[in-house]
Amino acid sequence: MAEVVTNAGQRVQAGLRRVAVDAIVVVTGIVVYFGVRGVTAGSPAAAVDHAHDVLRVEQALGLDWEDEAQVVLNHVDGLATVAN
């Protein structure tokens, strides 16, 4: 019986660790998102410059497929509203 309790306790601890790691990842993403947003919110020109930088990196890596994806999804009513 003690072995069952130990295994259950270990599973709970493992689950809590996983939740903690997931929470850290989410919080880090939020902090980075709002940090970048804060830096660019006051300067639309800087935001456009950064967007061009990102696009150049995507093109260099062969990852610039956003236009093709948007063409496929442009006809879906309301999608732009939901995505934004």
Same domain, 48 and 74: yes
* 36 in the same domain as 60: no
Question: Do 38 and 4 belong to one domain?
Answer: yes
pLDDT of the chain, 84 residues: tens digit per residue = 555 556 888 888 999 999 999 999 999 999 999 888 877 667 788 878 989 999 999 999 999 888 888 888 888 888 878 877
The DSSP-derived string for 50-83 is HHHHHHHHHHHHT---HHHHHHHHTTSTTHHHHH
Which residue range(s) make up the domain with 51?
Answer: 44-84
pLDDT at 3: 57
Number of H-type helices and E-type strands within the chain: 4, 0
| Residue keyed to tokens 């996983």 | 18
Residues 57, 35, single domain; the answer is no
Whole-model pTM: value is 0.44
Do 22 and 48 lie in one domain? The reply is no
The count of domains in the chain is 2
- Check whether residue 17 and residue 34 sit in a common domain: yes
**pLDDT number for residue 52:** 95
